[in-house]
Structure 1
């Protein structure tokens, strides 16, 4: 009985916090500008930038929490904070373009009430963004890789000779190669806690880049929060990389 009561009290406390975050982020964006999916692709292509996408998982880790497929670590927390703070401090003049989930940040918070899962998943992220990262800076749209935008995001690898496909399942690399008719090299990552293998993954990516001569190569990364760090490391060394997330196996859906 005590365990049951404790569980009920815990759930009540969670929803009280969620209501607080929801209430104080009904209007979330005051200063930041968000590009459209097309605008995001144009920004990336015209300036030869890599792409990093943040969502609720990254905000959770920055705030000190783990997520289902990536345990919390202070090192990862520091690296994610550095990515967004460096981007803001330089007014976006980094080798990577940072994209955030504009659909869920720009909308009136009351729109989240359409689905309980929206309130549960996004109230904290909206509040956290408003408190820390709603600055006068231009963000891309992290929902660029929603299934509705395939005809837009495919231009990111137009003219590319080789794609290094970083994912936990080879079959998606093979599907990509068949669909887009591009030479594709596969680098496998764990489906959980990929960050712990960051250096091994980077080593394999660099090995593939060297083997291909480093010309007209793009790296597509699906590796959770670790993927953000991988793209940052690659872009700092002058390589193009796009944090696609799991659009290949679990595509994003726009807010309805």
Structure 2
């Protein structure tokens, strides 16, 4: 396991990884001819389903796929066979009110910038031939990239339109936000200004699956009319399914806040956001403490240290 992580993340293997990425990108046309891609909605159509029909969504990305296929320890979640099996079952869910999202690259490459196209061409070539057996190709999947609205998008004007639309999910709603203790979604920006209210349940920044049942129990205290937003990596998918099964609308909101920060600052690459866990940026996993009164007042439960506010 450590050897796999070294090859994937270690600086020594930077150039071999880059060469492999371009090789797998080059064979993408052959791969999708041999292995036809699943049916995936556009970002816009997925948002319509969530906003208009109050559907829940569990989103899958390359991290979850590698977690399932390669039994890979992620920076924020060690491998757990129970969690991996949950994820496999979710990919085949037939609940019409629970959307299962696959990344935008599986919908198509149009609208992505050059880096995004190369990334998803290579990822699909590497992952999809092995992932295909865990999918139902007759199923209509949603688009997981409803939270990836800036860095990979070619037309940044479209990013503004998409961010305005994603805010409609929680406009006028009482929101329960379940997040890692260092995530701090919406802190320091106006992302959730349209929400009627925000309360937060904090979970550990790493290995949140170990207290998955406790997280669910804390959410169930709230009335079913609330909107539950969840940002907890692979664990979020399981929490979404469990909360949804009790009659709540639950949305796996993932990276939306970090993408929004990059959008607001006109970033040209993935950069660290001070005070927030930024897993994909250099130095972004080292997070400083903050002193924000509004944020502190929103914390209802802190399961990272067992403290109930």
TM-based fold match above 0.5: yes
Deviations 1:59-113 (A, max 9, x none): 112214222221111100110011112x2xx3xx3431111113355349xx988
Q: Which residue of 2 aligns with 1:74?
A: 81
* TM-score (normalizing by structure 1): 0.75
Aligned to 2:205, what secondary structure does the other structure show? Answer: coil
Matched, 1:188 2:194: no
The counterpart of 1:124, out of the listed 126, 143, 153, is: 126
- Relative to structure 1, the CA distance from residue 112 to residue 63 in structure 2 (aligned partners, 3 Å threshold; closer, same or farther) is farther
Matched, 1:43 2:49: yes
- 1:224 Cα deviation (Å)? 0.1
Higher deviation after alignment, 118-127 or 66-75: 118-127
The counterpart of 1:146, out of the listed 148, 155, 160, is: 148
Higher deviation after alignment, 38-47 or 218-227: 38-47
Distance 1:105 1:134 in 2: 15
- Relative to structure 1, the CA distance from residue 48 to residue 229 in structure 2 (aligned partners, 3 Å threshold; closer, same or farther) is same
Q: Which residue of 1 aligns with 2:168?
A: 155
Distance 1:114 1:244 in 2: 20
Matched, 1:247 2:249: no
Q: Which residue of 2 aligns with 1:167?
A: 179
Q: Which residue of 2 aligns with 1:4?
A: none
- Relative to structure 1, the CA distance from residue 26 to residue 215 in structure 2 (aligned partners, 3 Å threshold; closer, same or farther) is closer
Distance 1:39 1:118 in 2: 20
Gaps of 5+ in 2: 1-6, 150-158, 264-309
- Relative to structure 1, the CA distance from residue 49 to residue 72 in structure 2 (aligned partners, 3 Å threshold; closer, same or farther) is same
Q: Please list, as runs of the form range in 1=range in 2, the aligned pairs for 1:1-256 lying within 5 A after superposition.
A: 23=27, 25-27=31-33, 30=36, 32-66=38-72, 67-85=74-92, 87=93, 90=94, 93-104=95-106, 106-107=108-109, 121-133=123-135, 135-147=137-149, 148=159, 149-160=162-173, 162-168=174-180, 169=182, 171-172=184-185, 174=187, 175=189, 179-207=193-221, 209=222, 214-250=223-259
Equivalenced residue count is 236
Gaps of 5+ in 1: 1-6
Distance 1:28 1:193 in 2: 37
Distance 2:103 2:116 in 1: 18
* TM-score (normalizing by structure 2): 0.63
Residues 224 and 248 of structure 2 are in contact (CA less than 8 Å); yes or no, is this contact kept in structure 1? no
Distance 2:65 2:21 in 1: 16
- 1:141 Cα deviation (Å)? 1.1
Residues 102 and 142 of structure 2 are in contact (CA less than 8 Å); yes or no, is this contact kept in structure 1? yes
Deviations 1:127-150 (A, max 9, x none): 334454260221111111223221
Deviations 1:165-205 (A, max 9, x none): 11123743555686224211101122221111212222222
Aligned to 2:200, what secondary structure does the other structure show? Answer: strand
